[in-house]
Each structure stands twice: as C-alpha cells, then as structure tokens.
Structure 1
Amino acid sequence: MTSHIPTVARKEFDDAGRSKLLWTLIGLLVGLVAIGYTAIWYTVDDVTAAEVLNFLGLPLQVIIPVAALIAGYMAVVGERRSGSIKLLLGLPPNRTDVVFGKLLGRTAVVGVAVGLAFLASLVLGAVFFGSVPFADWLGFAAVSVLFGTTFVGLAVGVSAAVSSRGKSMAVVVGCYMVFVALWELLTAGPYYLLYDEGPPIEAETWYLVLEQFNPIFAYTNLASSVVEGTIYPFQFQYGLQSPEAYQMTPAERFPGDAPFYLQDWFGVVVMLAWLAVPVAIGYYRFKRTDL
C-alpha cells in the first residue's frame, strides 16, 4: 500500500505556514536572538561566542513550546470540526497518513523556526564575536529541534484524540501550565507532606526521577551539557527547595554515581517519550473514532 504521509505533510506545512500568530512568534524568537546578541556585544566585555550561545536557552524554551502547541493543537481536530476530514479520508490518504503526515508537516514548521533562530545566532556570533563554536552550536540546535518536535507530538496527539477545538486547547494549555507553573507543587508538595520538609539537595531518588521527566527540565539539562555554561529551566518557583537545588541537575543532586535515568543524556529519552506516547494514544483513539 502506498503511503501518502509526504503528501499530507506538504499540505500541512503550507497550511500551518499561513498562521499569522505562529509567524509572529517565530519573528519574536528571531528578534529576541538579534536583540540579545547585540545587547551582549554592546554591554559585556571579554565574552566569547561560546559563552553567549547559552543565552538562547531562555527564549527558546519559552517560545518553542508555545509555537509548537499552536502549530499542532488544531492539526486533526480542526479537520473534524470543519467536516473536511471526511473529504480528506475519501481521497487516497487513510487515517495513518493523516496523523503522521500532520505530525511531520507541523514539525517541519517548528524546525524552520528553530533553524532561523540558530541561523541568526550563527551570523551574529561571527559578526560580533569573530568565531562560532560550531560543534556546540550544532548540538544545541539538534537538541532544540527535538524539544520542538516533542511539543508538536504532544499537540498533534491531543488533537487526534479529542473531538473539539475547546478540548484540544484545554488539554495542551493544561499540559504546558503543569510543566511550567505547577510542576514544583505537584512534585515537591507531596515530598513535603511525606517527609515534613522540602526536597533537600540530595533528595529521594523518586523525586529526582520526577524532576527529570519534565520535558523542559530534560531539555535544559541536555542543552547545558552541550554548551558552555548552564541553562536554567523556565519554571515558576514556590520556595519549596533551597536556592542551590534549583541550580542543579538531578544527576548532580544524586549522592554518588547517578544511575543512567538521572544522567543528562537521558533527557533524549524523556523528550522522545513525551513525543511518542501522546501520538500513540491520539492515533489509537482516532483510528477507532466514528467520524
């Protein structure tokens, strides 16, 4: 049987590329990179391009998830809402082609956004600082593309699993708020109830595992391992941990040699899980939905 995933992906890339809000976010991301590099060049002495590269960590982890969720949350449910899904499925593409074609096409849009941001950093690094740490730059770019793909997968999976725009928006916004605003309350809060204190630096292993499974934490830990300096996660903090703990990775907080699932590279597994599981659930539900 011929796969029509590439055909659907091209259509999705064109459709998502017409979103003014999405391109506004992409423009904002590139603009922040340009402004940040220029400001650092003007105000900071004796700084290298390698040291400036980690500046990208904050705008990337703030804007990429939002752009990815916007790109993906209406991917499938939007077709169902308009009724065009019946027309689409009446053509050669089947439901498998629709889900994975939309995932591929929307991922390509976010990949373009990440690519433009890193291209701007490459050019500005060479212009302002005279050199570019290409190995670090390439590794950081690859990790950032995976980060964006993770949130596209989450959004497309939700979009395939639910039946209305409102439900899709509620779930993806809820997930984002959990990752950014509620993660500490949902992890450190129970720790406090169990042990009558907030998580210390050398916290229980189960808590460190939960910390690692936040995709934003996984991204910043992994990105920090490929660039010079540390990239801190964008997260609401409620003072349930010590200031030192906020600045350490799960591997650094583990007493002794950290197990593989707490090491920085395991962030790749975490992000792939947040990509694959929602898509698998959404695909399963979409395959069995009576349209």
Structure 2
Amino acid sequence: MSPDTPESVARSGTDRPSRARFGMILAVARKDIEDVARSRMLLAMVALLVGFVTVLYAAFGLIADDGTAGETLAWLALPMQTILGIAALVVGYLAIVGERRSGSIKLLLGLAPSRRDVVLGTLLGRSAIVVAALTPAAVLAGALSLALFGSLPVRAWLVLTGATILFGFAFVGLAVGVSAAVATRGRAMAIVVGLFATFVALWELVVAGPYYLIHGETPPIEAEGWYLFVDGLNPIAAYAGIANRAVSGDAWPLQFGYGLREPEALTTPSTERYVGEAPFYLQEWFGVAVLLAWFVVPLALGYVRFQRTDL
C-alpha cells in the first residue's frame, strides 16, 4: 500500500464530510417519506390522480364522439393543476413547522443533521412523494390513450408529464420554504392558502386590474410586454403555457375570471400575444424558469429565516 500523500489526505478529508452530509440528507428524506406513507397521504394522492385520469379518459374515449388523444391529454392538465397543486402544498406546509411545534426538530438536530440537512432532506423527501403520486397516473393516462384511441402522442405526453412534475416541485418548494420560515402551523396554513387563492382566484384582479387603471380598458390579446411578463409569473399560468405548447388541444389554467381578460388569452402563448419579436421573458423556455424560481426562491428565503430562528 502506498503511503498517504498530503493531496490524498486532503481529498479524503473533504470527501468524507460531503458523503456524510449527503447521507444525513438522505436519512431525513427517508424519514419524511415514511412519515407521509404512514399517514396514508400518499395513497390518497395516488387514488385521486388515478381516479381523475380514469374518469376523464372514460368520458372522452367512451362518451365523446369526436374526442382525440391529444385533446384528452390537454384536458388532463386541469385536474393535475388542481389535485397536485393542493396536494403538494398540503404535503409541504407542515413538513418543518410541524416538527418544530411538536419538539421533535430539537431531537433531530441533536443527533447529527444540521438545519441545512433538515431543509434539503425534507425538500427531497416531499419532492419524491410528488413523483411517486404522479407516476401511476401518468402511466395510466398513456395506457388508456393507447387502449381507447389507438395512439399516444409520445412527445406531448412526456412534456406534459415533465411539466406536471416540475409544477408539483414548484409548490413543494414554496410550501417547504414557508414551513421553514414560520413558527406556527396556523401561520403556515394562512400563507400557503393565501398564495394559492391569489394564484387561482385573484390573479386576474392583481394583473389585469392595474392594466385597466392605467389604460382605461381591459388587456387585449396583443398586450404590452410588461403585462405579459407579470401575468406569466403565476406558476399556474407558467404550467399551462408549457402544456399548451406541447399538446394539440387547449390546456386551460386553473384561474377564475372576472371579465377583465379575454378567455382566448388564457390559452394563447405569450409569443403570439406580443407584437413584434418577443423578448426572452416571453419565450417558450421561460415558463420552466418561472417554475424553477418558485421551487428555489421561497425555499432559499425560508432556509435563511430558519437558520436565524431560535428553536
């Protein structure tokens, strides 16, 4: 055996802590997954998603005379936004604050994991739950499309599945970030419910209302870049935008309307609503960046607050 060199000692000294740290993150994630599995929350998520997929394909494939595989896939985006968005928030908002209020967070931190390990492990575990809940529904949708229509738009199916997973990750990151930042369950619930209500029920008032006050009219289909940019910051709108570019039908966003926007605007890509060459923040890929931002930014803010909090 060759003697250890300073370089090898330095390498092993840095590798061991990093491997141990990753092991701590995996341990926290494993505990998180087991906790959710014991509560049967994962089973409920799978049952709801599979049930909606079955009902939707039965309605379009067996009842509708002119239904197609692509149109059915497009309609699938709506229940995915509803169920997966709410489920991801429910799974995530109590992840850390629940442990904190019960006192188990002190026991966990007293063993080996750091606060960073707890946040990252929780995020990893809750994200894995989203993937586990969505996978059976996505596989079932592909199988039913082949059985009922004799075809499956593979590219659209893959893009929609990937976008749905990313959509779920965005809401998990948001919920875990809130859970890390606040000290009480009630405050965590109020924040995530308020944000979801804003995305779904109040967004038109938030973005189209100021436009009406500035211009004295409702936003047209061909609108200014600033308005299209702000409107696209909603993770639900970002997800629907990705879906609409992938599927042949109209993937509607889960948003209430108050008559301030044309219904056509909800399913028209931003690049087609901008006069001239669309800037980068209206391009197709920007919806992915928006979802990633909702995954990362709230989590980072929550982690900073969690690090500074006296437990």
TM-score calculated relative to the size of structure 2: 0.90
Question: Matches of residues 80-99 of structure 1 in structure 2 within 5 Å?
Answer: 80-99=100-119
Q: Give the equivalent residue in structure 2 for 1:258.
A: 278
Instruction: Return the alpha-carbon distance in structure 1 between the equivalents of residues 155 and 206 of structure 2.
Output: 37
Percent of counterpart pairs with the same letter?
55
Q: Give the equivalent residue in structure 2 for 1:268.
A: 288
Instruction: Return the alpha-carbon distance in structure 2 between the equivalents of residues 17 and 120 of structure 1.
Output: 21
Tell me the alpha carbon deviations over residues 54-107 of structure 1, each in whole angstroms, 9 at most, x when there is no partner.
Answer: 121111011111000011000100110000000000111111110000000011
Out of 4, 7, 13, the position equivalent to 2:33 is 13
For the pair 1:69 / 2:71, whether they are aligned, the reply is no
Question: Matches of residues 1-291 of structure 1 in structure 2 within 5 Å?
Answer: 1=17, 2-3=20-21, 4-21=24-41, 23-45=43-65, 47-291=67-311
| Higher Cα Rg, which structure | 2
Letter in 2 for 1:12: D
SS at match of 2:285: helix
Q: CA deviation at 1:225?
A: 1.2
State the superposition RMSD in angstroms. 1.4
- The answer to whether the 8 Å contact 1:5/1:100 transfers is yes
Between 129-138 and 212-221, report the one with greater CA deviation: 129-138
Q: CA deviation at 1:21?
A: 4.9
Letter in 2 for 1:219: Y
Instruction: Return the alpha-carbon distance in structure 2 between the equivalents of residues 19 and 219 of structure 1.
Output: 29
Instruction: Return the alpha-carbon distance in structure 1 between the equivalents of residues 38 and 172 of structure 2.
Output: 17
1:234–1:207 distance in 2 versus 1, CA, 3 Å: same
List 4+ stretches of structure 1 deviating above 6 A: none
Q: CA deviation at 1:127?
A: 1.7
- The answer to whether the 8 Å contact 1:22/1:70 transfers is no
Structure 1: gaps (5+ residues): none
Letter in 1 for 2:179: S
Between 158-167 and 239-248, report the one with greater CA deviation: 239-248
Q: CA deviation at 1:193?
A: 1.1
Letter in 2 for 1:240: L
SS at match of 1:17: helix
Tell me the alpha carbon deviations over residues 191-234 of structure 1, each in whole angstroms, 9 at most, x when there is no partner.
Answer: 11111111122222211101111000000101111222220111
Aligned positions, number: 291
Letter in 2 for 1:273: A
Instruction: Return the alpha-carbon distance in structure 2 between the equivalents of residues 191 and 36 of structure 1.
Output: 37
Instruction: Return the alpha-carbon distance in structure 2 between the equivalents of residues 159 and 77 of structure 1.
Output: 5
Tell me the alpha carbon deviations over residues 233-255 of structure 1, each in whole angstroms, 9 at most, x when there is no partner.
Answer: 11010001233333423222100
TM-score calculated relative to the size of structure 1: 0.96
Instruction: Return the alpha-carbon distance in structure 1 between the equivalents of residues 282 and 175 of structure 2.
Output: 26
Instruction: Return the alpha-carbon distance in structure 1 between the equivalents of residues 266 and 154 of structure 2.
Output: 29
Tell me the alpha carbon deviations over residues 149-197 of structure 1, each in whole angstroms, 9 at most, x when there is no partner.
Answer: 0000000000000001001000000110010001110111111111111
Instruction: Return the alpha-carbon distance in structure 2 between the equivalents of residues 70 and 18 of structure 1.
Output: 15
